[in-house]
Amino acid sequence: MTKSATREAADEVSAPIASPVFTGNVGVGVTPEAWDSSHKALQVGAALGLSSDTTINRSHISSAAYQDGTSHTSGWKYMDSSSGATDIHTYNGGIDFRVAPSGSADAAISWNTAMTIDNAGRVTKPLQPAFSVSVNSYSGINCAPQSHLIRFGEQSSGAGLFNNGNYFDTTNRRFVAPVSGFYQFNVHIRMDGTSGDYVYLTMVRNGSTNLGRDLDVGVGSYVNRSISVVASLSANDYVDCNARTSGDTSIGIDGDSWFSGHLIG
């Protein structure tokens, strides 16, 4: 019994095909962009790119981006008018997660590295909002009968001090949340005074909600108060710190005082 012509044709189609080798870039459902000659790329649709640099040990999984230059940092362009671009860049056993804001078709991309995993498994997030600020020594305030803002941020640079992303507002002496999320805050102050009045330290959200408070009876000079909290903030919420005493006492907030915080996630 012989096969029909139709059956033979079907068998030929379903038979294994030798692994194809493409000398140029490949597009699935789209003509691929003009990738740089050192990159071999598979482009799927108008956004997804899988590419490898043939000159060095680097590969990329990119969205809305293609490589039009020899540098792994520069030479990248938007595939089309995009609301943003991303790139997962692997090299030397590590991974960079890179992002970029919106841009027009074929315009140059300037990447921001949001997270890096090195080949030892260590994770860093260089753009994560974080700060540690201090005050000038002996910022004297009259703390009664109401709370007074502690002027953190008068010293925002130097040993151990920083303001990553500039989300601590050094004009209004407050941290302003750039995104909604959970934040860790720590504050420590050293008050110099000679009164036996109660000493209050508060951390406040949006000028009204106490996130934490520490109080004790002042016992001469060098009264130390501290607060550590995790707070849930919405974008543009702000957090600052206040001090007061129970009596009409003028005290100094010493330069040993500091306020720090960072975005947990």
Q: What is the pLDDT of residues 107-148, one digit of tens each?
A: 999 999 999 999 999 999 999 999 999 988 666 666 666 778
Reported pTM: 0.81
Partner residues linked to 39 by β-bridges: 53
Strands (E), 34-108: 39-44, 48-53, 58-63, 65-67, 76-78, 85-91, 94-100
Q: Give yes or no for residue 160 having a pLDDT over 90.
A: no
Question: Which of the four pLDDT bands, split at 50, 70 and 90, describes residue 253?
Answer: confident
- Ranges of each domain in the chain: 19-124, 130-263
Q: Give yes or no for residue 4 having a pLDDT over 80.
A: no
Q: Which of 96, 90, 130 is nearest to 111 (CA)?
A: 96
Strands (E), 118-157: 123-124, 130-134, 139-142, 148-149
Question: Which of the four pLDDT bands, split at 50, 70 and 90, describes residue 224?
Answer: confident
Give per-residue pLDDT as tens, 11-66: 555 556 667 777 778 889 898 888 888 888 899 988 999 998 877 888 999 999 99
Residues 6 or more apart whose Cβ sits within 8 Å of residue 236: 176, 177
Separation CA 19–CA 200 (nearest Å): 75
- At 101, the amino acid letter reads P
Least confident of 2-16, 201-215, 224-238: 2-16
- At 82, the amino acid letter reads S
Question: Which of the four pLDDT bands, split at 50, 70 and 90, describes residue 77?
Answer: very high
**CB of 114 within 8 A of CB of 99?**
yes
Residue 194 confidence (pLDDT): 59
In angstroms, the Cα distances linking 196 to 88, 185, 200, 203, 220 are 60, 28, 12, 23, 7
- Quick one: the chain helix, strand, coil %, rounded to 5? 5, 50, 45
What does DSSP assign to residue 109? P
Residue 203 confidence (pLDDT): 97
Separation CA 28–CA 45 (nearest Å): 6
Instruction: Please provide the CATH number assigned to the domain covering 130-263.
Output: 2.60.120.40
Residue 10 confidence (pLDDT): 53
Residue 200 confidence (pLDDT): 83
Residue 248 confidence (pLDDT): 66
Residue 140 confidence (pLDDT): 63
